Structure 1
Amino acid sequence: MKLERLLAMVVLLISKKQVQAAELAEMFEVSVRTIYRDIETINRAGIPIVTSQGSGGGIGIMESYRLEREWLKEEELFTIASALQSVSSMYEPASHSTAYQKIKHLIPEKSAEAFQHQTEKWFIDMTAWGQTEDQKALRENISAAIDQLSTISFTYTNASGETLHRQTEPYTLVCKAGHWYLYAYCLIRNDFRFFKLNRMNDLTILYQSFTRKDIQLDTLPWDKNWYQKDRLTELVILVQPAARQRIREWFGNEVLHYDKGEICRAVISLPDDQWLIGFLLQFGKDIEVLKPLHIRDKVKDTIHQMQKVYET
């Protein structure tokens, strides 16, 4: 991943005076062009990187800039190392020269035991149950296309079962609610779209370069699209005790309203589409849609259609 590579490059440049771009490209298994883009990213982060030509030249940190070992405290290194271990649940490390190993070598010997304890304290496994190699390979191929600024094409099956051909400029892989998505600029719709990876097939890297648009990922643009007012409908749901904790996990305790006794209602706003019906059905008999009536009717109709299937 790019983040892991950037961290590894910074740590490497701390310990070495200069490194050749070709050497970095071979080490991280990317192109020299990608290395120079990474150098620009590191420069923008406030660490001045300089390049020099000729014999003995290469890439290094500006001599007048002091990047002390204490630039990151041990506790911060523990956190970064733990995060990198979690990232490795998605990608196999290319070699022992990963960012995790380099950070580990920055830890003083007297703190080695504490480092092991802290990095084993928590682990975020972002893979799905029954993780398949196909899904892992798909993420790695998309990641490579993002690094290379290459457009990709694929067939995509939406929530309604419709299969469409898509050609996109890939921007960001996003793990949300245990599922992986691609945030990309769709060249057919001429707008950004969110694609669920397990609905994608026949991925092809087209090697047609594109220029990244200026987007602010910290604003979570996919969430903004999801919660656009014209897509939302307000639901009033009767919630049985068995489903209350799951509703809290999804929407927070503030959506639950208690009437007389144990009667509990939830008021939530969600996009009115086919996904909504599937989401509601996962709660089974533990919830009942009270309003709006057209959503209640859709749920009832879906249940009746399912019943017909199992009666045959």
Structure 2
Amino acid sequence: MRASRLVSLLLLLQTKGRMTAQALADELEVSVRTIYRDVESLHAAGVPLYGDAGPSGGYQLLDGYRTRLTGLTEQEAESLFLAGLPGPAAELGLGDAVAAAQLKLMAALPSSMRDRASHMAERFHLDAPAWYYDPEKSPFLEVVADAVWRSRMLEVGYRRWQAPEYVTRVLRPLGLVLKAGRWYLVAQGASRISTYRVSQIQAVSVLDESFERPQGFDLAAHWVASLEDFQARQFTGEATIRLSPGAWKSFSSHVLPAVARAAEESAVDDGPGVRVTIPIESIGHATGMLLRMGGEVEVLAPDELRAQVTAAVRQLASIYLS
């Protein structure tokens, strides 16, 4: 712990220049007396550190004392600071580690690169959650992340959407993925690798048993493949609909990209409107999606979907026109 603090003190002085004992104590969350002892230890280790008394005094390193990172371009330095996501890092229990790493990087960069990296951090901010969605609360995320890091088996109680709703699984946690503000655990179960939404984990126990990762497993490649598979299985049928000119203009903003692409590719002028054929997840899901567009859309096929939309409209009419 103390060795880490000594390094942090040294890097603070490399990054910020002259700092008072009080400022260093505040930054490192220790007492001023502790800073005095740490400075003495750095002196004893041969670090060229000196202090000036008075209101404008403080501790400072001799000019030229700096550890430099070699081979790092300005663009690479900028990207390292742009890639920092403090919110997700804190959720994983790595907030302090990320801050310390950025401090060490900033201290080691030459002044020209340090200025450019600082400008990048000041001007760009990455916000992972999608609009209209708050970040999900995942109380077991830090525990799961630690098990992923240490390759430790997990026993989890998981709430899912189909029956039985609550299940218990013993998993080999292979990786965590953050998508649109939601954390997903990619883990190997008894027979296959599956994806689990971390917010749906109701209980977790870290087992003493460790495991070997599947040879050649690539988390990023697996995630891309699983997304493609999910999208392929997502749509179970098709529907033909007629959109008013106004609805056609805004249709792509109300549906998934795959639905919008299918509509664009199949669009045919149909009197005052546009006729399109789109993929649907289910009759029930399509009914809700199309009802949101009101009288700007008419279902032409299949008959089952048209009948369900008609029944829903009649039910609404009986409520509001009675």
User: Is TM more than 0.5 here?
Assistant: yes
Q: Aligned residues: percent identity?
A: 18
Q: 1:123 aligns with which of 122, 125, 128?
A: 125
Letter in 1 for 2:230: W
8 Å Cα contact 1:243-1:283 kept in structure 2: no
Name the SS for the 2:148 alignment partner: helix
Which residue pairs with 2:96 in the alignment?
94
**Would you say the 8 A contact 1:156–1:199 is kept in 2?**
yes
Deviations 1:26-55 (A, max 9, x none): xxxxxxxxxxxxxxxxxxxxxxxxxxxxxx
Cα distance in 1, alignment partners of residues 164 and 315 from structure 2: 19
Distance across 1 between alignment mates of 2:147 and 2:286: 32
* Residue matched to 1:21: none
- Of 183, 186, 189, 1:186 maps to 189
From 231, 253, 261, give the equivalent of 1:246: 253
AA in 2 matched with 1:223: L
The alpha-carbon distance between structure 1 residues 95 and 150, as it changes in their structure 2 partners (threshold 3 A), is closer
- Equivalent runs, 1:105-144 vs 2, <5 Å: 105-127=107-129, 129-131=133-135, 134-135=137-138, 137-144=139-146
Is 1:221 the counterpart of 2:263? The answer is no
Secondary structure, counterpart of 1:159 in structure 2? coil
Residues of 2 paired with 1:191 and 1:304: CA distance? 46
How far off its partner does 1:83 sit? 0.8
Letter in 2 for 1:100: Q
Q: CA deviation at 1:291?
A: 4.6
2:290 and 2:97 map into 1 onto residues whose CA distance is 44
> Which of 166, 172, 178 is matched with 2:168 structurally?
166
Deviation, 1:125, is 2.1
Q: Which residue of 2 aligns with 1:78?
A: 78
Q: Does the 8 Å contact 1:81/1:104 carry over to 2?
A: no
- Segment of structure 1 superposing worse, 236-245 or 116-125: 236-245
Aligned residue number for residue 281 of structure 1: 288
Q: Mark the CA change 1:265 to 1:285 in structure 2 (over 3 Å): closer, same or farther.
A: farther
Identify the residue that residue 149 of structure 1 maps to in structure 2: 151
**2:16 corresponds to which residue?**
none
Q: 1:227 to 1:138 in 2, by over 3 A?
A: same
Q: 1:150 to 1:233 in 2, by over 3 A?
A: farther
CA contact (8 A) 2:135 2:182 kept: no
1:32-87 CA deviation, whole Å, 9 max, x = no partner? xxxxxxxxxxxxxxxxxxxxxxxxxxxxxxxxxxxx94523111121122112355
Give the Cα separation in 2 of the matches to 1:307 and 1:196: 39
Structure 2 residue aligned with 1:205: 206
Count the aligned residue pairs: 237
Does the residue aligned with 1:71 lie in a helix, a strand or coil? coil
Distance in 1 between the 2:107 and 2:225 partners? 37
> Gaps (5+ residues) in structure 1?
1-11, 13-67
Q: Classify the secondary structure of the residue corresponding to 2:292.
A: helix
The reply to whether residue 263 of structure 1 matches residue 263 of structure 2 is no
8 Å contact from structure 1 (residues 290, 296) kept in 2: yes
Encode CA deviations 1:130-179: one digit per residue, 9 max, x unaligned: 446x51x4221111111121121222222346423232111121223443
Q: How does 1:18-57 map to 2 (within 5 A)?
A: none
Structure 2: gaps of 5 or more residues: 1-10, 12-67
Q: Which moved more, 1:104-113 or 1:256-265?
A: 256-265
Please say which structure displays the higher CA radius of gyration. 2
1:175 match? 178
